[in-house]
Amino acid sequence: MEKVEYLIVGQGIAGGLLAYELNKTGKSILIINHETSNTSSNKAAGIYNPITGRKMVKTWLADELFVNLESFYANLERALGAKFLYPKPIYRPFYGHEEQNDWAGRSSEPGYTRFIKSIHTKSRGIEGVLDEFGGLELNHSGYVNLPDMLSALKLFFQNKGLYRSGVFQYENLEILEDRVIYQNIEAEKVVFCEGPAVGQNPFWNKLPFKPVKGEILEIDTSLPEDVIVNRGVFILPKNGYFSVGSTYDHQNLNYEPSADGIKNLKERLGKVYNGGYEIVKESAGIRPATYDRKPFIGFHSKYPNIGIFNGFGTKGVSLVPFFATQLVNYLNGDGEIMSGVDVSRVNL
C-alpha cells in the first residue's frame, strides 16, 4: 500500500498548481489524471487581466491577486526549466469620448494607478484596429501558455514518481474516519480538481456549477505581437498566430465549435478589427464556472477527508496561484479559506 498525505485528482491548472505548492511545502502527494485534450485548461487562452468586463472595472480581488502573480509564474518557470509566462500590455479601445473622459479621471485614483500603463486619447495607430477614440493600455497583464506549463508540471511530477495516468473510479474510493483508500493508495485526504468533469463526481455533483462553452478562432494576420487587443473579443498573439475569443454558451456543452458561435466571434471581431485575416483553426472548450463566479474550495461537510479545488472559470490563471497558496497554508495550520470561496457556503 502506497501512503501519501494528499491524493490529487486532476492535473489541469488547479490540480497542477495545488499539487506543486503542497509538494513544495514538504507534503507527500500523488496525482491521478485523466489524460485527454478536452480539458478547460488545455483549451483556455490563459490571459490574466486586472481590468475586465463591459464596464472595465478592476477584477475581483485584483489588488491581492496581481501583486505577486507574475513573480509566481516566473519562479515556477525557473523551477521547471520551462517557458510559459508572456507578460504583455492589454489594449482596450474606447467606445467614445465619455469613456475616454471617465478613464482620464480614474487614472489618478490610487486603486487603479498601478494597473494603467497609459491612456491614449487618439488612435494608437495599430493597423486595422478600430480605436478612433483611443484606448486604455494596461500593466500587469499578459498570458500563460497553459499547455506548455501543464506539460512541464507533468514531467516534474513524473520524474518524482508522483503522477499516474487514469480515470478515477469513484466507486473504488473507500472512506474511513481518518483517511481514504483508493486501489493501492492510502491518503489522508483526496482533493478533486477535475474541472467540468465534476458533474460525474458523486461527492460534488450537486454543487451549483454553471459550466460554459467557449469557442476560439485561431487566425493568421499582420497584427503586432507585443500587445493583446481586448474589447468585445480578445486578440491574443500566441504560437505564431492570433487567438480570438471567446463565446459564452451555457446550453450546448460540447467540444465542437458551432456555426453560430463562430459567426458571433467573426461579428464581434469585426467591431474592433477590420484587417484581413485567415482562419487557421476553430476550437471549443468548457469552463468550470459557478453560479456566483467564485470557486469552490474546501472539504465535504459529511466526509471531511474529501476536498474540492475547482470552479475557477475564465480567470483561473489569476485566481489559482492565490487560492492554491491559501489552501496549502490552511492545510498546514496557517490561516483560513476565504469565506466567499469556501464550499461550506453551499449546503450539500
Rounded percentage of the chain residues whose pLDDT exceeds 90: 90
- Average pLDDT over the chain, rounded to whole? 95
pLDDT, mean of residues 26-33: 98
What per-residue string of b and e applies to 268-293 under the rule 16 or more CB within 10 Å gives b?
bbeebbeeebeeeebbbbbbbbbeee
pLDDT of residue 39 exceeding 80: no
Q: What is the pLDDT of residue 44?
A: 87
Say yes or no to pLDDT of 207 above 80. Answer: yes
Distances (CA, A) of 90 to 167, 237, 313: 38, 11, 20
Q: What is the mean pLDDT of residues 2-27?
A: 97
Q: Does position 42 have pLDDT exceeding 80, yes or no?
A: no
Give the residue from 94, 134, 141, 86 showing the smallest Cα distance to 116: 141
Average pLDDT on 126-134 reads 97
User: Which DSSP string do the residues of 167-194 spell out, in sequence order?
Assistant: ---GGGEEE-SS-EEETTEEEEEEEE--
CA 198, CA 177: separation in Å to the nearest integer?
24
The pLDDT of residue 36 is 80
Query: What integer is the mean pLDDT of 165-170?
Result: 96
With both helix axes pointing from N to C terminus, report the angle between 146-159 and 69-80 in degrees, rounded to the nearest 10.
50
Q: At residue 203, does pLDDT exceed 80? A: yes
Mapped onto helix, strand or coil, the DSSP state of residue 51 is strand
User: What average pLDDT score do residues 161-174 get?
Assistant: 97
At 110, the pLDDT band (50, 70, 90 cuts) reads: confident
Which residues have C-beta within 8 Å of that of residue 75, sequence separation ≥ 6? none
C-alpha cell at 36: 485527454
- pLDDT exceeds 90 at position 111: no
> Given a cut of 80, is residue 256 above it in pLDDT?
yes
Do 293 and 21 meet the contact criterion of CB atoms below 8 Å apart?
Answer: no
Do β-strands 296-299 and 228-231 pair in parallel, antiparallel, or remain unpaired?
unpaired
pLDDT score recorded for residue 273: 98
Query: Beta partners for 51?
Result: 58
State the pLDDT at residue 128: 97
Interacting residues of 219 by C-beta distance below 8 A, sequence separation 6+? 241, 242, 244, 277, 278, 279, 280
- Which has the closest alpha carbon to 272: 129, 156, 158, 168? 129
Mean pLDDT within 121-142: 96
Rounded to an integer, what distance in angstroms lies between the CA atom of residue 96 and that of residue 172? 59
Quote the pLDDT of residue 108: 81
Say which range, 35-49, 95-109, 177-191, 266-280, has the weakest mean pLDDT.
35-49
Contacts of 50 (CB under 8 A, 6+ apart): 58, 59, 62, 65, 66, 115, 138, 139, 140, 141
Q: For position 43, what pLDDT does the model report?
A: 78
